[in-house]
Chain A
Amino acid sequence: MTDAAVLDRDEPFSAPSPTPELGRRPSRNRSPRAVRYVFRFLVVGYLFMVVAWPVSLVAKQTFAHGLSSIRTALDDRLVTSALRLTAYVSVVAVIINLVFGVGMSLILVRRRFPGRRILSALIDLPLSVSPVVVGLALVLTYNRRDGFFGKTLEAHGYKILFANPGIIMATVFVSLPLMIREIVPVLEEIGTDQEQAARSLGASPMQTFRRITLPSIKWAVVYGVVLSLARALGEFGAVKIVAGNVAGKTQTATLIVEQTYQDFHQDTAYATSFMLAFVAVACIVVVTIIRPKEHV
């Protein structure tokens, strides 16, 4: 039959589409107005009192005297060197996590090997370990007196603790699973059909990765980077233990916040906090904006 022979109809024979009728969603399953308002009030109230108000006060405290406290903080050589150290450590930690995270995710999802399940569970472990325990674990292993590796490394002139390598390791430790947690679900979701199609069209494994796999996990990688960065900038407990807190040398931004506050330089503490909080909140806002709105 040609289309002309039969009038266009709404295809009564075709399978029905599971999509709901147009525009029905918004009015479905609404609670009564009063209940909705009470819930809204409770939720907004709680989040305002616990999170939003206190966070906004830091900005207020910082700018109570205009830009002067920011300027004072940035004039402090110890503060600037701490900020530089934090930036350096964070960038290095994120790069390490990026390489490790992408590689490990690909292997965990695409390959089968003995112990795969245990490994995938263990990789989450750092998230539920106290930062203080992380610091302790690294100290026990890498201290030069009786550390498992520390002694040998020290003998060859490598210094881990109370130096940048230790700070970087602590930071990598605490942010290690974030990248993998973002990438693994996406890799599982997309499956291997596209990759196999690419291979069947003659693409090499490298070309397949670059042109098929990488574009589809791109956003997951971006979120992973942003989250790792936020976590890395803010790490405190673990770094405090492994860094030794030597002012101007191994003191990170979060450590200087603690020290200046305890030394009653509260303006500097607030200003430094503001700068850290600003970056952290900016990270979150960026993620919220660029996240594809699949399920909104």
Chain B
Amino acid sequence: MSIEVRNVNKRFGDFVALDNVSVNIPTGQLTALLGPSGGGKSTLLRIIAGLEFADTGLVEIEGQDVTHLPPQKRNVGFVFQHYAAFKHMSVARNIAFGIEIRKRPKAEVKARVAELLALVHLTQFADRLPGQLSGGQRQRMALARALAVEPTVLLLDEPFGALDSKVRKELRDWLRRLHDEVSVTTVLVTHDQDEALEVADDIVVINDGRIEQIGTPDQLYDAPANEFVMGFLGPVTRLRGQLVRPHDLEMFAADPGGAAFGQITRVNRVGFEVRVELTVGDEVVLVTMTRTHYHALGLDVGATAWVRAAAGAPTVGNPASHPLTGPVSEPVPG
């Protein structure tokens, strides 16, 4: 294991940022720490980097106990959400900083900087100041700066959070390809489930200072451990007390057997997708389907429809005591 975190606790005054957190992060993988803001994921990352120290617990990097080591002795690369550019230094000098600190020969520094500039596609901007770059370019510079010291682990704290969505998506793809190329152990903090699902080999879901689930994107998506994880990874709706994804629901014009029924209260079409709201008892259930499928059903607002989860669809929660229908009027075949 490249990074091992054991029983780490961290409080800021009365606020419990991390509550007995343990996690292993495998070598060479890209692991995402996913969770809502203030959930403790950034604190965990900063504790791994040595920018924050755990109240109790242990942190190991490549087998070495670094719990009390200052950041400059951990050989980690850290990339910040707001770039943390050295504003008074050119792009090249920014990237060279870590290598210069290590007193490498001038020629070596120069060669390494050139190599990294090429890697992050900033060669023609080498002599610019960070203030003259776009956000995406600055973040690439920051990444090159972190990689320059050949870190044991690369830690990214919401690296694309300050960028607009288009650039964010581009950089996300680029980061994945970069990681496949350099394959340094990477930990990415994000609150964006799409980012985590798309980029990461493994995802650690953190909420309220506790780990909710650890697994591959598929495991998390297909077998969420609890309502929080399921809810955090994408839209969900509730049918007979169970949490289920709206696109995993099947809707019928006639009773297929074992389905709940209710009245269609709202229909909203967005592009190819049709979102249907069904009032089942005291629940409003959201069902999404393709436009074609919806037209084939021939249903409209006010009609009665039957709904059930598709076979094999992941659900969370106990369906137990919920009846098939609530106080709705007599079912009228649609």
Contact = CB atoms under 8 A, between A and B. Distances in A.
B12 A6 contact: no
Contacts of B268: 1
Given A2-B284, A27-B12, A27-B52, 19 more contacts: A1-B275, A1-B286, A2-B266, A5-B237, A6-B286, A7-B231, A7-B238, A12-B36, A12-B194, A16-B37, A17-B37, A18-B162, A21-B40, A21-B42, A22-B12, A22-B17, A24-B43, A24-B52, A26-B13
Given A1-B275, A2-B266, A27-B12, A21 B43 contact: yes
B96 interface: no
B13 A6 contact: no
A21 B162 contact: no
Interface of A: 1-2, 4-7, 9-10, 12-13, 15-18, 21-24, 26-28
Given A16-B158, A21-B38, A21-B42, A9 B232 contact: yes
Contacts of B300: none
Contacts of A9: 231-232
Contact of A12 (B15, B81, B193, B275): B193
Nearest to B234: A12
B202 interface: no
Nearest to A8: B231
Interface in B185-234: 191-194, 227, 231-232
Contacts of A2: 266, 277, 284
A10 B231 CA distance: 9
A5 B285 contact: yes
Interface residues of B, number: 37
Interface in B10-44: 12-13, 15, 17, 36-38, 40, 42-43
A1 B237 CA distance: 11
B82 A18 contact: yes
A16 B39 CA distance: 13
A18 B192 CA distance: 14
Given A2-B277, A12-B191, A7 B236 contact: yes
Nearest to A26: B12
Please classify the interface of chain A as helix (H, G, I), strand (E, B), loop, or mixed, using the class held by over half of its residues: loop
Contact of A18 (B36, B81, B231, B232): B81
14 contacts: A1-B277, A5-B237, A7-B227, A7-B236, A10-B191, A10-B232, A12-B36, A12-B191, A13-B192, A16-B162, A18-B82, A22-B38, A23-B12, A24-B42
Interface of B: 12-13, 15, 17, 36-38, 40, 42-43, 51-52, 81-82, 158, 161-162, 191-194, 227, 231-232, 235-238, 243, 246, 266, 268, 275, 277, 284-286
Contact of A23 (B13, B158, B191, B266): B13
A56 B2 CA distance: 61
B206 to A, nearest CB: 12
Contacts of B237: 5-7
A110 B324 CA distance: 69
A5 B284 contact: yes
B202 to A, nearest CB: 18
A253 to B, nearest CB: 48
Contacts of B42: 21, 24
A10 B43 CA distance: 18
B326 to A, nearest CB: 14
Contact of B235 (A6, A10, A16): A6
B191 A16 contact: yes
Given A2-B266, A7-B238, A12-B193, A21 B286 contact: no
A23 B266 CA distance: 43
B304 to A, nearest CB: 18
A26 B235 CA distance: 37
A34 B37 CA distance: 35
A23 B17 CA distance: 9
Contact of B81 (A4, A13, A16, A22): A16
Which residue of A7, A18, A26 has the most chain B CB atoms within 10 A of its CB atom? A7
Q: Which 9 A-B pairs have the closest CB atoms?
A: A10-B36, A23-B12, A5-B286, A16-B161, A4-B284, A7-B231, A23-B15, A12-B193, A5-B284
A42 B322 CA distance: 72
Contacts of B266: 2
Contacts of B158: 16
A17 B191 CA distance: 11
A1 B275 CA distance: 7
A12 B158 CA distance: 13
Nearest to A16: B161
Contacts of A23: 12-13, 15, 17
A26 B13 CA distance: 10
Contacts of B231: 7, 9
Which residue of B37, B161, B243, B286 has the most chain A CB atoms within 10 A of its CB atom? B37
Nearest to B161: A16
Contacts of B82: 18
A67 B195 CA distance: 75
A12 B232 contact: yes
Contacts of A27: 12, 52
Contacts of A1: 268, 275, 277, 286
B38 A12 contact: no
Contacts of A28: 51-52
